[in-house]
Amino acid sequence: MNSQQPIIDFDGEAPRAHDAVIMREGDDFYLFSTGRGVSVRRSTNFQHWGSRESVLSEPPAWCEQLVPGNRGFFWAPDIAFFGGRWHLYYSVSTFGSNRSAIGLATNVTLDSQHSNYEWRDEGMVCQSHREDGWNAIDPNVLFDAQGRLWMALGSFWDGIKLRRLDEITGKLSDEDTTLHSLARRPRTPEIQGSVEAPFIVRRGEFYILFVSFDFCCRGVDSTYNIRVGRARDITGPYLDRDGTALLEGGGTLVRQSDARWRGPGHNSVFHDRNGADWLIYHAYDAENGGASRLRVEKLGWDEDGWPFVA
């Protein structure tokens, strides 16, 4: 991949993808996204992606038990490597409901041709119920500066939450059970509490929290846009560039719709071997019937440490 170019130019049509995250193992790249059993594609150069496959050929039995109505179509994965295994977190839900759960599958390798390749169901990590004020989807997992493992999550309702995870099991910590609040928006008829898809990057002395405002999944009428805030502690408080707390509806704009690409959102960030950062997100192509496509743009950082795209 060329770290000097401002945007990845896919030769031909960009992959269809929703809620994507990219990870590298060896010389290969792996694109995980929303899909049946969690979708995965493989690439050797970040530009040409293979056919879409499913991580989980069959949904674990617990999914239907905890979330009736889900049929194995899993949303918004995130993946991290620790303890000698890849840990893939994914969302189990139905549209418009907070009766949801986050599941976990692990593997020693991402290479499906490897003799030890086998995804192991590790069960449910956390769940939310209709009476809860939050929604257990859109997981993002990272280590803080002290080596503690955390999971950001959340969509609509009372916004973005953060939970400590156990560094051995990858599941909720019994030591620290606090549910931290990181961001929320007003639950007015117009806004409807529309904040979701957290992704946290540790950069220097700050934790940078990316979120998506407004509404996805409406084709060219989607209003998704990517916002950001930052904090010196992973638990917050997160403030935008103007000093407004994300818990008060703040968020500095990073990417919004343009004439062709509508409703950009649900981003992740990929850090390459040359030290460059890439903003990974999906947007709806107004020139192709509003189809959801993968977008990859170079992410810059200004002199004050705030992210931007060209």
Q: What pLDDT score was predicted for residue 269?
A: 98
Tell me phi and psi for residue 198, to 5 degrees: -70, 145
Which H or E element spans position 126?
strand 120-128
Q: Report strand pairing: 252-255 vs 195-203.
A: unpaired
- Displacement of CA 274 from its chain's centroid (Å): 23
> Which whole number is the average pLDDT over 293-309?
96
pLDDT band at 102 (very low <50, low <70, confident <90, very high): very high
pLDDT higher than threshold 60 for residue 4 = no
> Token digits for 308?
């931007």
d(CA 237, CA 262): 30
> Which whole number is the average pLDDT over 58-63?
94
Residues annotated as catalytic (active site), given as ranges = 19, 196
> Which whole number is the average pLDDT over 194-221?
97
pLDDT tens digits along 44-55: 998 889 999 999
**Cβ–Cβ under 8 Å, residues 96 and 156:** no
pLDDT higher than threshold 90 for residue 310 = no
pLDDT tens digits along 150-160: 999 999 999 99
Q: What pLDDT score was predicted for residue 69?
A: 87
Percentage of the chain lying above the pLDDT 70 cut: 96
pLDDT higher than threshold 90 for residue 265 = yes
> Which whole number is the average pLDDT over 4-13?
64
**Cβ–Cβ under 8 Å, residues 106 and 80:** no
Q: What pLDDT score was predicted for residue 203?
A: 96
pLDDT tens digits along 114-142: 999 999 999 999 999 999 999 999 999 99
Q: What pLDDT score was predicted for residue 159?
A: 97
Max distance between CA atoms of the chain, in angstroms, equals 53
Domains of the chain: 21-309 (2.115.10.20)
d(CA 183, CA 251): 9
pLDDT higher than threshold 60 for residue 5 = no
pLDDT band at 6 (very low <50, low <70, confident <90, very high): low
Q: What pLDDT score was predicted for residue 14?
A: 81
The whole-chain average pLDDT of the chain stands at 95
Which H or E element spans position 159?
none
pLDDT band at 249 (very low <50, low <70, confident <90, very high): very high
pLDDT higher than threshold 80 for residue 282 = yes
